[in-house]
Amino acid sequence: MIIVMKSDATKVDIEKVISTVKELGYKAHIIEGVLRTVIGAVGDERGKPHHLEAIGILSGVEKVVPILQPYKLASREFKSENTVVKVGNVEIGDNKVVIIAGPCSVENEEQIIETSKAVKEAGATVLRGGAYKPRTSPYSFQGLGEEGLRLLAQARKITGLPIVTEILDPHDLDVIAEYSDMLQIGARNAQNYALLRYVGRSNKPVLLKRGMSTTINEFLMAAEYILSEGNHNVVLCERGIRTFETATRNTFDLNAIPVLKEKTHLPVIADPSHGTGYWQYVTPMALAAIAAGADGLMIEVHYKPEIAQSDGGQSLKPSKFTALMERAKLVAKAVGREI
């Protein structure tokens, strides 16, 4: 439920509401606005109309509104205005379309440095790169681990781009958080609830990718796990879902972008690289995602994709990425945004 306080509610009034909310078995989340304070009481309120009544009669309370969606903190009912998540000096969720780019995996110093310079020059604002890689086969390249993180940090020092990289294991959180600016939860861990809770207790922004067979409601419930632990800096990423179609690696669910923008206040970005799996489809779907309302793009770029140790077939060469950026600026301008 959402408790809207009166504009003249005192600090004592607000503290009394918070203590009552906790006594009734809910978690209290406070949003302090310019004119009034809103308190989110998160928990299962079904069949408990007396709880709404008990809180509604407290001093300083203007109204109590039940949240109908199963995801509470992620819903537009809880927060109507868009959330803006800050990653380093980059803001995701405002009028500017953020471009996250870089290789699937960090392979060596030359590869990550040269690629990071290229994407920075083309206009990317965040650098991506995997140091720990979840692979279908245990024999495939699994990433460089902490050495990969050090190379990402070196690329950040050279380019000034903040870093997003994937976390697979809660035990790696401290070392990954030391080097990175944003934690990525990949598709295979989108419903790893223990990991979601763990990163929810950190103060690092989180990029949450949609699972391969995750519905939109399940996707938002996954985000709810992170939010419920106190970390409100969550960015959602549509990266394609698994369907019967085999012409592309995944089926890029373009519908998900406007649907998510309607249902949640969290920023929504798109990953057409994983969504399609083929470099020649990345640009058209990236442009379509901007037109559909995406707050950003996540593009795989490799300076020599033909020898990439993972996902070379869906990676753009720097020249192709530069061409994409030029076209993306035109589409963004057409829909009233900028890059």
Give the model's pLDDT for residue 31: 79
Are the CB atoms for 268 and 290 separated by under 8 Å? no
Q: What's the pTM value of the predicted model, to 2 decimals?
A: 0.89
The alpha carbon of residue 88 and the mean position of all alpha carbons in its chain are separated, in whole angstroms, by: 15
Contacts with 274 (C-beta within 8 Å, 6 or more apart), sequence order:
187, 239, 240, 249, 250, 300, 311, 314
CA distance 199 to 180: 13
User: Which of 98, 102, 152 shows the shortest CA–CA distance to 125?
Assistant: 98
**Structure tokens, 8:** 């003249």
Q: For residues 209 and 214, what is the distance between their CA atoms, to the nearest angstrom?
A: 10
Q: For residue range 170-207, list pLDDT tens digits in order.
A: 999 999 999 999 999 999 999 999 999 999 999 899 99
Tokens 């009552």 -> residue: 20
Contact 38, 3 (CB under 8 A): yes
Whose CA is closest to 287, among 332, 242, 239? 332
Which strands sit side by side in the sheet containing 61-65, from one edge to the other? 27-32, 37-42, 2-5, 61-65
Q: What distances in angstroms separate CA 100 from CA 17, 227, 301, 336, 339, one per listed residue?
A: 42, 23, 10, 20, 12
Q: Which residue has the higher pLDDT, 175 or 68?
A: 175
- Tell me if domain 2-65 and domain 85-334 are identical in fold: no
Topology of domain 2-65 in CATH is: Alpha-Beta Plaits (3.30.70)
Q: Is 207 helix (H, G, I), strand (E, B) or coil?
A: strand
Q: What is the pLDDT of residues 296-313, one digit of tens each?
A: 999 999 999 888 888 889
Domain ranges of the chain: 2-65, 85-334
pLDDT at 334: 97
* Residue 316 near residue 117 (C-beta atoms within 8 A): no
Percent of the chain with pLDDT over 70: 98
Among 152, 174, 149, 170, residue whose Cα is nearest residue 161: 152
Phi, psi of 62 (to 5 degrees): -85, -45
Considering the chain, what is the average pLDDT of its residues?
Answer: 93
Note the pLDDT of residue 47: 62
| 132-170 pLDDT tens trace | 877 777 767 777 899 999 999 999 999 999 999 999 999
Q: By three-state DSSP, how is residue 206 classified?
A: strand
Q: Which fold has domain 85-334?
A: TIM Barrel (3.20.20)
103-125: pLDDT as tens digits: 999 999 999 999 999 999 999 99
Structure tokens at 184: 């990525």
For the segment 16-48, what is each residue's pLDDT rounded down to a tens digit? Answer: 999 999 999 888 888 777 777 888 888 776 667
Among candidate residues 172, 164, 158, 154, the one with its CA nearest the CA of residue 88:
164
The one-letter amino acid at 239: R
